[in-house]
Amino acid sequence: MSTINIQILADTLNISKSTVSKALRDSHEISKETKKKVKELAAKMNYSPNPYASSLRKKKSRTIAVVMPEIADSFFSLAINGIQSVAEKKGYHVLIYLSHEKYTNEKKILGEVRNGRVDGILISISKETKNEEPIDKILAAGVPVVFFDRELESVHTASVTTNDYECGYVAAKLLLQKGCRRLLFISHSASLPICKKREAGFRMALLDAGCPEKKGQVIYGTDNEKSNYQLIKKSLAAKQRPDAILASVEKIAIQVYIAAQELGLKIPEELKVLAFSNLETAPILNPSLTTVTQPAFEIGKSAATILFKGIEKKHFRLENERVIIPSVLIERRSTSI
Amino acid sequence: MSTINIQILADTLNISKSTVSKALRDSHEISKETKKKVKELAAKMNYSPNPYASSLRKKKSRTIAVVMPEIADSFFSLAINGIQSVAEKKGYHVLIYLSHEKYTNEKKILGEVRNGRVDGILISISKETKNEEPIDKILAAGVPVVFFDRELESVHTASVTTNDYECGYVAAKLLLQKGCRRLLFISHSASLPICKKREAGFRMALLDAGCPEKKGQVIYGTDNEKSNYQLIKKSLAAKQRPDAILASVEKIAIQVYIAAQELGLKIPEELKVLAFSNLETAPILNPSLTTVTQPAFEIGKSAATILFKGIEKKHFRLENERVIIPSVLIERRSTSI
């Protein structure tokens, strides 16, 4: 922290601390001449005011928090880009917190950002989160909260999500149209609303096509990458192996590709693959990957825009804001005949 | 911001604000009984102290800033994971700022985090940055700064980087060993130390192999993705087109793959490709991509560890810390014969 403080400025100019402080804040109580002297000395001595003193005075931190499960994932890094694009224009600082998919981490983070550290919070909940209490406490403290992508539906506040149910449906429908009959949906969570919706869409497409779901057509990954990989490999090595896989997230699709390579299974001839993914490399994979591409940047940008309305407008009703930005199905070689 | 403050707690208990404040801070001046009463009421009323008041008192923000060019890049998102792994253990908050490769943005950010907003700064400089003044000002204010990956060598402080010169050398050497003679190095910057080192290693390998560099064997990309793509396509469509490309960053390698696909150029038969990259999908690209894989997580973790030494130890000499963590060359199909 700087060793230059208001006391030193005051001593050097032989005036009071309060005069220095008021001069720096452009108070009408201080003469033009004194303001000029103080500001010139402050610039010369490389002094800038402590931001937290200003936060306390104005009851604004000019900071928002983003709480999310992880960052090394195309969706989340693009979403942050969208959030930052808004925060930068507003002149706001952005604190990033990772829950690593653990509810206890998320609860701890939320406990720490209550009461003044931030003016608002953007959150994409962890896989484990079912309890609304930590978020309700923040809302009760008057701090706006907006969900992006992963929401907790029981909490009454704004959310920006995508059309997960429809996308699960069209993805499964495409695989069925390609002649696949033993579809497997590999989901990264049995409880996250986004995953449940994708799963429900998948099931409905099977039903509509007259292919009622068989046992084991939906399986769930864990947080352990190795055990996920084993699970995928076991499925693909089974006698009645799937002829198509729908992956709920890019990490799973990558593992499916590696497992298929190892087992000598040809994509798309012997196995079709489709994934919910924002991978920049989808077009140059071997083979290029058919994706449901989420509007990651737009989701981040829209959520941040709503959050700032909540911060700036006193009577803005967050709970009325439920934005759904549609994803896009992009067909590539991994589902061609 | 919470509507529950010390005044309300004091009024409810009919004691002074200062007593409440001291009780919450566990001051020895306050009786056990009073402390218990105050803390119970605070918990009941969902009160937690304003963190910025505490920052001002302790002259510690318990916050660090990470300043970097972008986030939607495997290297930087993995580096943040490494940084967060240390910050979480220390109970620190992490502010993330993106310079978008612009010096003016970086300067503005650094101006805003001086004087108390953060206890320390991790920075990976923008492409344009040549002026050390903004960082020197921060160091002069007593705030520790550690470079990660992209450093400004003229600034006397700690840095954690990788062995870019050696990697440029071994990458070019591998391509020469595979029989390539018209190597092209596509760099994302003519001025960044990391790029200059990779380029110098590349040139030295050519010299050592008795293949003196020809005009146009090193070209520089811009910030405009479209014009980069046109530049790459033009190179690959030329009569004397390269038979091998070394890309200084993953974004360029992805564009090389797409351009080769479009031109019907087969990798590796007609064109070998090697990239500095942390792409998780490198093993499943078409064809799998040979990479110089940087220790991104470790660079972030090591830089954060050094930063906290600078924050916690009064006489720690940052300028003595120059850590180099080696990268690894991983051969895959894109450079096979």
pLDDT at A57: 61
* pLDDT at residue B5, rounded to an integer: 73
A164-293 folds as Rossmann fold (3.40.50)
Closest residue to A2, CB basis, from B2, B73, B115: B115
Interface probe with B: pick from A96, A104, A229, A311, most Cβ of B within 10 Å: A96
Give residue A26's pLDDT. Answer: 79
- C-alpha–C-alpha distance, residues A268 and A277, integer Å: 18
Question: CA-CA-CA-CA torsion for B71, B72, B74, B76, nearest 10 degrees?
Answer: -10
Please state the domain extents for chain A. 6-49, 60-162+296-326, 164-293
Going by pLDDT thresholds of 50, 70 and 90, the confidence category of residue B50 is: low
Closest chain A residue to B95 measured between Cα atoms? A95
Q: How confident is the model at residue B2 (pLDDT cuts 50, 70, 90)?
A: very low
Name beta bridge partners: A246. Answer: A185, A274
| Nearest chain A residue to B253, by CA | A281
3-class DSSP state of A117: coil
Q: Which of B4, B51, B98 sits opposite A84 (nearest CB)?
A: B98
Q: In Å, how far is B328's CA from the nearest CA of chain A?
A: 20
B97 contacts A1? CB cut-off 8 A: no
Alpha carbons A249 and B329: distance in angstroms, whole number: 28
Predicted pLDDT at A4 = 62
A-B contacts at Cβ under 8 angstroms: 165
Confidence (pLDDT) at A58: 64
pLDDT tens track for B109-166: 999 887 788 999 999 999 999 999 999 999 998 999 999 999 999 999 999 999 999 9
pLDDT for B300 equals 98
A-chain residues within 8 Å CB-CB of B73? 77
Class of domain A60-162+296-326: alpha beta
In this prediction, residue B54 carries a pLDDT of 64
List CB contacts (< 8 A) between A284 and chain B: 254, 257-258, 261, 285-286
Q: Do domains B61-162+296-326 and B164-293 have the same CATH topology?
A: yes
Best mutation target, B115, B289, B297, to test chain A (most A CBs within 10 A): B115
Q: Which residues contact A230 (CB under 8 A, 6 or more apart)?
A: none
Amino acid letter, A316: F
Contact B93, B119 (CB under 8 A): no
Of B56, B143, B254, the CB nearest to A56: B56
Three-state SS string over chain B comes to: CCCCCHHHHHHHHCCCHHHHHHHHCCCCCCCHHHHHHHHHHHHHCCCCCCHHHHHHHHCCCCEEEEEECCCCCHHHHHHHHHHHHHHHHHCCEEEEEECCCCHHHHHHHHHHHCCCCCCEEEECCCCCCCCCHHHHHHHHCCCCEEEECCCCCCCCCEEEECCHHHHHHHHHHHHHHCCCCCEEEEECCCCCHHHHHHHHHHHHHHHHCCCCCCCCCEEECCCCHHHHHHHHHHHHHCCCCCCEEEECCHHHHHHHHHHHHHHCCCCCCCCEEEEECCCCCHHHECCCCEEEECCHHHHHHHHHHHHHHHHHCCCCCHHHCEEECCCEEECCHHHCC
Give the H/E segment covering residue A66. Answer: strand A63-68
State yes or no: pLDDT of B205 exceeds 50: yes
B171-190 pLDDT, tens digit per residue, is: 999 999 999 999 999 999 99
Between strands A145-148 and A120-123, the pairing is parallel
The answer to whether B2 contacts A141, with C-beta atoms less than 8 Å apart, is yes
- Please indicate whether, in this complex, the C-beta atoms of B77 and A77 are within 8 angstroms of each other: yes
The more confident residue out of B234 and A25 is B234
- For domain B61-162+296-326, give the CATH number: 3.40.50.2300
Give CA angle at B219 (B216, B222), nearest 5°.
150
Nearest CA-CA distance, residue A212 and chain B, Å: 33
CA A201 to chain centre: 22
**Residue B205 has which token pair?**
């390998």
Model ipTM? 0.84
What proportions of chain A, in percent to the nearest 5, are helix, strand and coil?
A: 45, 15, 40
Q: Do A288 and B287 touch (CB under 8 A)?
A: no
Q: Which segments of chain A have a pLDDT < 70?
A: 1-4, 48-59
Contacts of residue B98 in chain A, CB cutoff 8 Å?
81, 84, 88
At A144 the pLDDT is: 96
Predicted local confidence at residue A17, as pLDDT: 83
Residues of B in contact with A55 (CB under 8 A): 52
Which pair of structure tokens corresponds to residue A281?
Answer: 């490399």
Q: Quick one: pLDDT at residue A255?
A: 96
Contacts of A121 in chain B (CB under 8 A): none
Cβ separation A50–B116 shorter than 8 A: yes
The confidence score (pLDDT) of residue B59 equals 66
Nearest CA in chain B to A134: B46
The alpha carbon of residue A330 is apart from the nearest alpha carbon of chain B, in Å, by 17
Inter-chain contact A1–B141, Cβ cutoff 8 Å? yes
**Runs of H (alpha helix) within chain A:** 6-13, 17-24, 32-44, 51-58, 74-90, 103-113, 133-140, 164-177, 193-208, 225-237, 250-263, 296-312
Which of A56, A94, A97 faces B52 most closely, judged by CB atoms? A56
Query: pTM surpassing 0.95?
Result: no
Residue B260 has a CB neighbour count (10 Å cut-off) of 20
User: Tell me: the pLDDT tens digits for B272-329?
Assistant: 999 999 999 999 999 999 999 999 999 999 999 999 999 999 889 999 999 999 999 9
Helix B51-58, helix A51-58: angle, nearest 10 = 140
- B27 pLDDT tier (thresholds 50, 70, 90): confident
- For residue A287, list chain B residues with Cβ-Cβ distance below 8 A: 286
Chain-chain contact of A258 with B284 (C-beta, under 8 angstroms): yes
Name the average pLDDT for chain B: 92
